[in-house]
A and B are shown apart, each in its own frame.
Chain A
Amino acid sequence: MKKIQILGPGCAKCVKLAQNTDQAAKKLGIEYEIEKVTDIKEIMKYGVMMTPALVVDGKVKTVGKVLTPAEIEGFIKE
């Protein structure tokens, strides 16, 4: 199962990234779970400078961007 995490405190941009990620994963037809990491101390453990950030199977893929579903599909498939 693909483990996807969205790092961010829960503002509109973080929510949007999570929505787009869900859309992308559904389109790919894969088994997945999305976790929203909103606690700042937990976010800091990933070493990201900005949020929202996209993490796939433990690897940070993008930082500080709200990606489109098409862009996210590429990162999920990597």
Chain B
Amino acid sequence: MPEDTCCTPARRCMILSCSGGSNVGQLSNQAAVELTKEGFGSMYCLAGIGAAISGFVQSAKDVDEMVVIDGCPIGCARGVLKQQGVPERNYLVVTDLGIEKAKRFDLDPADIVRVKDAVRRMLGPDSVRPADDACCSGSGGDGC
């Protein structure tokens, strides 16, 4: 297959988020989904990392840039990464933005925007870079 038919240049910012059973867990997840759709980075599989599946773990270790979004200070996403020896980078806790944790799932769109904006501020404008060595990210953004 010639080089010019290789798939799209890698978005080398991996987004990992909590998806827990609360408003802040789901805000984390939804922010990650929307940031991916907006082309900021690629949401990836925290559960796969937690399950110690080598492709997910190694991808997290080798990716150029990463953002980790936890819903609350319990820090489950952080704990998963620590357990698998993945260095933590660009860590955000949704409750640190002044959003109170509650057992409800009706998300305020303004809160989703707050989380996304906080992620963007954390990484700055150069977080998504064209690939150097990598030739393909088709498997990342399209599912895992």
Which residue numbers of A lie inside 8 Å of B, CB to CB?
Answer: 8-14, 38, 40, 43-44, 46-53, 55, 58-66
Contact = CB atoms under 8 A, between A and B. Distances in A.
Interface string B42-65: 101100100001111111011100
Interface stretch (B7-15, B75-83, B93-101, B106-114): B7-15
B2 interface: yes
Contact of A9 (B7, B44, B59, B131): B7
7 nearest A-B pairs in the assembled complex, by CB-CB distance: A47-B55, A64-B134, A10-B1, A11-B6, A49-B59, A49-B140, A50-B134
Given A47-B144, A52-B135, 10 more contacts: A12-B135, A40-B138, A46-B139, A48-B59, A49-B140, A59-B54, A64-B12, A64-B59, A64-B131, A64-B134
Interface string B8-32: 0010101000000000000000000
A36 B53 CA distance: 20
Residue from A43, A47, A61 whose CB has the most chain B CB atoms within 10 Å: A47
Contacts of B48: 47
Contacts of B5: 9, 11
B134 A60 contact: no
Contacts of A40: 7, 138-139
Interface in B87-144: 131, 133-140, 142-144
A65 B3 CA distance: 16
A70 B63 CA distance: 21
